[in-house]
Amino acid sequence: MSTVYRISDRVDIKVDDIVVTISPLNYKIKADMQACVMAGKPMDAAVLALKNSIKGIKGLQLHDGSEYELEFDADGSLKEDCITDLLNIPESDKLNVIAISLINGMPQGEFLDPQTKKPMDGVKFVEKAKQNKKK
């Protein structure tokens, strides 16, 4: 049986030594991503996916040793500075692949490497989706 992930669900993914909380993408973001890809702008598609799918992160610290915290715009999307920060960490390639793969929906089990079609090394689901209660 397939699992349905709602836009309000939050799913923790372990990526090497960090844990990233993601949510599925809505159809408008997926359409915008597809338009970017068709226009030959895959990096713009990746940025759209990162901006709208990442909802939390654990295991990152700033150069002074303090915990790194994400910042969000009023619409709940990741701020541009945070996207730039995340594109400069060692795990950025894997984060990009995870985010871009969400154009096809939340994977049913594992995130696959787009080139090898095998499970991505160092990437796994941490727990089942937890519903984000809207207040």
* Token reading at 70: 């994400």
Q: Which residue type occupies 40?
A: G
Identify the pLDDT of residue 135.
44
The answer to whether the beta carbons of residues 16 and 94 sit under 8 Å apart is yes
Query: For the chain, what is the domain count?
Result: 1
Phi–psi pair at 58, nearest 5 degrees: -130, 145
Instruction: Tell me how far apart the alpha carbons of residues 113 and 117 are, in angstroms, rounded to a whole number.
Output: 5
In a domain, 4, yes or no: no
Comparing 85 with 132, the larger pLDDT belongs to 85
In a domain, 52, yes or no: yes
Q: Indicate left, alpha or beta for 59 from its phi (over 0: left) and psi (-120 to 50: alpha).
A: left
Inform me whether the pLDDT recorded for 128 exceeds 90.
no
Identify the pLDDT of residue 130.
53
Q: Average model confidence (pLDDT) for the chain?
A: 91
In a domain, 42, yes or no: yes
In a domain, 49, yes or no: yes
Condensed to tens digits (0 to 9), the pLDDT of residues 54-75 reads 999 999 999 999 999 999 999 9
Helices (H), the chain: 27-38, 42-53, 80-86, 92-101
Once rounded to an integer, what is the mean pLDDT over residues 102-120? 89
In a domain, 94, yes or no: yes
Largest CA distance in the chain: 47
Identify the pLDDT of residue 108.
83
In a domain, 3, yes or no: no
Determine the structural domain holding residue 50 and report its residue range. Answer: 9-129
Q: Work out the percent of the chain whose per-residue pLDDT is above 90.
A: 81
Instruction: Tell me how far apart the alpha carbons of residues 19 and 21 are, in angstroms, rounded to a whole number.
Output: 7
